[in-house]
Amino acid sequence: MTLTQDPPESIEQLAAFVNSKESPTQELVDMGFENGKNTFLFSVTTDSKLRGAVEAQQVATFEEASALPGVFCFQKILLKSGEVPVAMLRKAYVPTSDTSVSDLMVKQAIVEAEWFRGKKETDNDASERVRTYWVEGTETQGISGKNTKQPWSAAFISYLVIKSGGGNRFKGSTAHWKYINRAVKAKLKPQDDPDYGFWGHAVNAYKPQVGDLIAAWRDDPDTTAVEKTTFEEVVAGKDGYPSHCDIVVAHNGSTIKTIGGNVNNDVSEKTFKLTPQGYVDITDPKQVQVIAILENRMDAPLAPALAGGAAPAPAAAPLNVVRITMDQIRTLAPNAKAEYLQAFVNADAVLAPYQINASKLRLRHFMAQVLHESGGLRVQEEDMGYSVQGMMKTWKDRFPTEASAKPYEYKPEKLANHVYSNRMGNGDEASGDGWRYRGRGLMQVTGREDYRKYGALVGANLEADPDLAFAAAYTLKIAAEEWKSKGCNALADADNITGITQKINGGQTGIAKRKAWYEKTLTVWA
């Protein structure tokens, strides 16, 4: 029996068919059926350990069913009668209260590899699947599998993490080196990034486990040049190097099996040999490019502020300020990034010297701008993936026609280097400064000049390490310094949101949304 050639007569028959499949990944299968106005999602499992944890959930539409956490490969299947549409989410895994993010990442990777079997990135359905990786993993629009010159392996890994619930400890990226470097830094100085989801280890210093990532350098896809990168160079701060990561999905003692995206223009498996001691064997000619093992720490205990516990009190808490609690921040931004949440742990003390929290009016206006610029405390880096229409609307003078904008459509780095070149302290397009110093952090600091300026004020070398602009230790201070330097307290005292927006934005972009954010701040600081 196949579902397409011989549709089942009933839900029970469909369940029996699904449970008859002997697949190591088929521990839990979700199925739903639509009856009148309601769709009921329920689960069928052959694993006795999981059966007791399965709970029925009611949803309104098939779309809602497919959007549930842990739901993959959504498709509608008609019963033989043709009267009842059935949705089966094949080989999916729905998290229970004790399901780990790491476990979900592995199961999801296996699901994606099985779904991709026999398909290539340019196939219509596979191309759209790649688009999903870009959108849900990196919030990048307009790229599908048909964009064959656009590597998507980093988007795939990002999708695994975000879809599995690790978004509060990981920032999706279009390039592997960014999270490789951050993982290495997090291991070397855990106090600076205590809740990042990965620790980067040297290959000979850590034995990979299921759920970890295998990081490797690769040849430059554009020039075919060999650009070897070492772990020591990563520690020293090398960036921008071509790289690749796969997730470990199985371990038998002598080898590990991994899954990665864009490996053979699909999602597929690889096998790595281990040394007798359990390390990746980089003496094997096929494995010499491995530079680091990223230990999966998605399920390690969070700092109190992120886990929902009591935040530590500031060392010298100011007395005459409007208090800022973590509960208030979560109310304003329920989907905030972990790093941004951490930045507000001692917000009372950070903002007091700038007198931003000297009154509720000032604090409301400050937070309205921060919440808008950071997309509800979620946007850490400026998204430069624009459509032609988006560019023509945002940069009317630079892109007066579709023809002038077309070369930059959905080419973030090229666009940033073009629109930000030769201004704000940046060099020309070839310098790469536009991309290097694009907007980052709570106030989206932009341009080499401001990175240098605010870095000096907060004691961080932002010019050398731009990603520090959204680091928890600095991002709130940077926002406060910008607020102060532009005289925004006086404008806030006058309740002048348009004036503040002009100072922060240089125009009135997003003024309606900024006003909406201000209204939301009234719910916590009335």
* Phi and psi angles of residue 396, each rounded to the nearest 5 degrees, phi first: -60, -40
Distances (CA, A) of 16 to 19, 20, 21, 150, 472: 5, 6, 9, 42, 51
**pLDDT value of residue 292:** 96
The average pLDDT across 341-368 equals 92
Please state the domain extents for the chain.
11-89, 101-296, 307-382+439-526
3-state SS string for 284-331: CHHHCCEEEEEEECCCCCCCHHHHCCCCCCCCCCCCCCCCCCHHHHHH
Residue 99's pLDDT band, with cuts at 50, 70 and 90, is low
Average pLDDT, the chain: 80
Task: State yes or no: pLDDT of 295 exceeds 90.
Answer: yes
Q: Extract the tokens encoding 123.
A: 């196939």
Angle between helices 153-163 and 124-138 (to 10 degrees): 60
Task: Name the 3-class secondary structure at 271.
Answer: strand
How does pLDDT run across 14-67, given as a tens digit for each residue?
455 544 543 322 333 333 333 322 233 333 333 333 333 333 333 444 444 444
> pLDDT class for 226, splitting at 50, 70, 90?
low
Nearest partner of 71 among 20, 17, 23, 107, judged by Cα: 107
**pLDDT of 118 higher than 90:** no
pLDDT of residue 8: 52
Distance from chain centroid for Cα 328: 23
- Name which of 244, 238, 255, 201 is nearest 220 in CA terms: 244
Mean of the pLDDT values across residues 398-417?
A: 93
Which CATH number fits the domain 307-382+439-526, given the four candidates 2.60.40.10, 1.10.1660.10, 1.10.10.10, 1.10.530.10?
1.10.530.10
Task: Provide the pairing of β-strand 29-35 with 85-89.
Answer: antiparallel
pLDDT, position 149: 83
Q: Which two tokens stand for residue 462?
A: 């932002």
For 331-360, what is the mean pLDDT?
A: 90
pLDDT digits (tens, 9 = 90+) for 127-164: 988 998 998 898 888 888 898 888 999 999 999 998 88
Amino acid (one-letter) located at 64: E
* Tokens linked to 351: 């903002």
Q: Note the pLDDT tens digit of each residue in 266-291.
A: 999 999 999 999 999 999 988 989 99
